[in-house]
Amino acid sequence: MIQLMRRWAAIVLAGLTLTACGGGDGPRTVSDTLAADPSTQVLATAIREAGLDGPLRGSGPFTVMAPTDAAFSALLTELGITQAQLLADKPLLTAVLQYHVLGARVARADVPLGRAVTPLGGGIFKVDSVSGELRITDGRNRVSRITTTDIDGGNGLIHKVDRVLLPANRNIVQTAQSLPEFSILVEAVVAADLAGTLSGNGPFTVFAPTNAAFASLLTELGLTKAQLLANKPLLTKVLTYHVVPSRVLRADVPVGPAITTVQGETFTVNSALQITDRNGRRAGITATDVLTSNGVIHVVDKVILPKTPTVVEIAQGSPDFSILVEAVVAADLAGTLSGAGPFTVFAPTNAAFASLLTELGVTKAQLLADKALLTKVLTYHVVPGRVYRAGVPVGVPITTVQGGTFTVGSDLVITDARARRAGITATDALALNGVVHTLDKVILPAP
């Protein structure tokens, strides 16, 4: 009798176990498996409270990144809430739980390392292998470890994680605002009226220069931060050159081929994660895959620049400077003025040269044939270094490459060595190797 009772008790217990595991109502599911595991009881409860138990008993297949009870305990501390508060906040609970579920069976061997993984709840996270250990970076750039993999849940697989994953809650602009090393970038984005765009749906990939990178650019261009931020056309052109109109994680960055930016021009990236911009300048990508709700940020140590002409190319690109270009070529100065510089060029227009020819009583051919005179006159129009309008010293002799000096009045009129006057009619045309100001008269050095 006792043995019969023991056998009956064993049968009852087995039936209860099967029922708890779904064995009595159909195939075992990931929901059943999580409910039966002592280490995932909070997750199982959360699934029921969020109304996700039914869907996770469906045909699937699913892959569940399953936080352990210890992971949930750490989350509660991190968020400063109780378990009851978490379970009562159904929208938050649902969003968080759906962020842990993939709509496919993804075994450990099939995890796309370094690439965007899109869960059922939307957003992305990525998985990397570090010393053989799988680590997840979630939308808030928090890192968790996958501690156990490939648990068969019937209608899917379960991987246990030691931290609850959280979807992104900041866009690109908000993420940059939260990081002190991007404060100048944020100022620049606001000054260029790009904050709204970069806060939009995207997705975007931003190659984000640090404050040190911007400081280096200011030195390179001879600008103050205020001058750069006030130049909206330049700022917009430069900033949009740092944005790619899609989400490109490090693993997907094309090495070698040209990458087209929102600005319209391209740059390339080599295997050492160095960017070469349209001017041959290089910038290092020092950190990658900062995830945001509308894209990804990669950190760069130098501001990259779209195609920026030299002072010679600026002259070549304007019909008003065609005689100046002929003169520079005739004097064999094109190579010098295409060099690193920097130079400040006070560039006379064609009308200015026509006036000079009348003044000197020579033809254009005669002027261009007199290389010694031409060289002396042209180098008198060049000042070493970058001198922007705001930095032009008023009333103080300015020494030229030719060696002579001229002065500039507060009315932006130059008085040359022969007391002749020339008006500066346009200023601050930025060149890769300097800056160009336009003159309405050719200035002349002392005889």
pLDDT digits (tens, 9 = 90+) for 226-275: 999 999 999 999 999 999 999 999 999 999 999 999 999 999 999 999 99
Beta strands in 103-142 (DSSP E): 116-117, 125-130, 133-137
Kindly state whether residue 290 falls inside one of the protein's structural domains: yes
- Residue finishing a domain among 107, 128, 161: 161
H/E stretch holding 83 reads helix 83-88
For residue range 101-155, list pLDDT tens digits in order: 999 999 999 999 999 999 999 999 999 999 999 999 999 999 999 999 999 999 9
SS3 309: coil
Let me know: does 381 contact 404? Beta carbons within 8 Å. no
Let me know: does 386 contact 429? Beta carbons within 8 Å. no
Q: Mean per-residue pLDDT for 165-192?
A: 97
Whether residue 22 is predicted with pLDDT greater than 70 in this model: the reply is no
Kindly state whether residue 3 falls inside one of the protein's structural domains: no
Q: What is the DSSP letter of 373?
A: H
Please give the Cα distance from 223 to 219 (Å, whole number). Answer: 7
Kindly state whether residue 444 falls inside one of the protein's structural domains: no
The model's confidence at residue 26, banded by pLDDT at 50, 70 and 90, is low
Domain containing residue 194: CATH number? 2.30.180.10
The model's confidence at residue 25, banded by pLDDT at 50, 70 and 90, is low
What residues have CB less than 8 Å from 54, skipping those under 6 apart? none
Q: Is 148 found in the same domain as 29?
A: yes
Q: What is the domain count for the chain?
A: 3
For residue range 313-372, list pLDDT tens digits in order: 999 999 999 999 999 999 999 999 999 889 999 999 999 999 999 999 999 999 999 999
Whether residue 203 is predicted with pLDDT greater than 60 in this model: the reply is yes
Task: Report the chain's mean pLDDT, rounded to a whole number.
Answer: 92
Q: Is 296 found in the same domain as 344?
A: no
Whether residue 93 is predicted with pLDDT greater than 90 in this model: the reply is yes
Containing structural domain, residue 249: 172-300
Whether residue 18 is predicted with pLDDT greater than 70 in this model: the reply is no
Q: Is 83 found in the same domain as 192?
A: no
Whether residue 12 is predicted with pLDDT greater than 60 in this model: the reply is no
Q: Is 150 found in the same domain as 45?
A: yes
How far, rounded to the nearest angstrom, does the alpha carbon of residue 121 sit from its chain's CA centroid? 26
- Residue finishing a domain among 161, 182, 216: 161
Torsion over CA: 103, 108, 109, 115 (sign) = positive
Q: Is 199 found in the same domain as 329?
A: no
Whether residue 13 is predicted with pLDDT greater than 90 in this model: the reply is no
Cα angle 213, 215, 218; round to 5 = 110
Count of other CB atoms within 10 angstroms of residue 397: 12
Beta strands in 253-306 (DSSP E): 259-260, 266-269, 274-276, 282-292, 295-300
pLDDT at 273: 97
Q: Mean per-residue pLDDT for 82-95?
A: 94
The CA distances from residue 212 to 182, 302, 303, 343, in Å, are 9, 8, 9, 24
Let me know: does 39 contact 68? Beta carbons within 8 Å. yes
